Structure 1
């Protein structure tokens, strides 16, 4: 039997992990301050999100989870969208309410 070393992604588990990681940035998401800086708990969490989004399939799951998160925090969608950039991280897609997660 051949076993794959690629992680199997469950959208439920991934979304709960993504939500948990973004909770490290809750002050910025809800209040707009303080700006996260590399090395802060928020940016460490964004690095964790980036590590999860390490394949095309995983990026699609992460993107879908983030679209759900944006739906829940729609008034703060722009804050969620700029977090990775403030931390110097590129997830390989833009966090935007109109993002196409199938790419």
Structure 2
């Protein structure tokens, strides 16, 4: 039963990211689309959902660092925030884990993966 939920969650995530990638060509995050950013951080999903151990995987941290490095301007970071806000609204993410991810991966993200976040009010 637990394995089935993981597989369904993973398939749902891939479908959502594909949709976002197809609809976000105009809102580029530097040279990366919302869907590309989501795909890079897809390995973080088990950690963010609380399926895996307390540590995110190396591939999760690598993807998160790559995305954070590509979003260097205020406009790009806000677009990235909106991107992940959309994803977090459709995928059940543990809010405590989303707050831990930047610290555990040593990534400078000035926002949490929170479906209620106001990306326009975040000081970048």
Aligned to 2:14: none
What is the number of equivalent residue pairs in this alignment?
Answer: 92
| Structure 1 Cα separation of the partners of residues 52 and 37 of structure 2 | 20
Q: Is the helix fraction higher in 1 or 2? A: 2
Aligned to 1:35: 55
| Structure 2 Cα separation of the partners of residues 49 and 60 of structure 1 | 13
Unaligned regions of 5+ residues in structure 1, if any?
1-8
| CA-atom RMSD in angstroms | 2.3
Per chain length, whose mean CA-contact separation is higher, i.e. which structure has more relative contact order (CA < 8 Å, sep 6+)?
1
Structure 1 80/17 Cα, relative in aligned 2: closer, same or farther at 3 Å?
farther
Unaligned regions of 5+ residues in structure 2, if any?
1-24
TM-score calculated relative to the size of structure 1:
0.72
Question: 1:87 Cα deviation (Å)?
Answer: 0.7
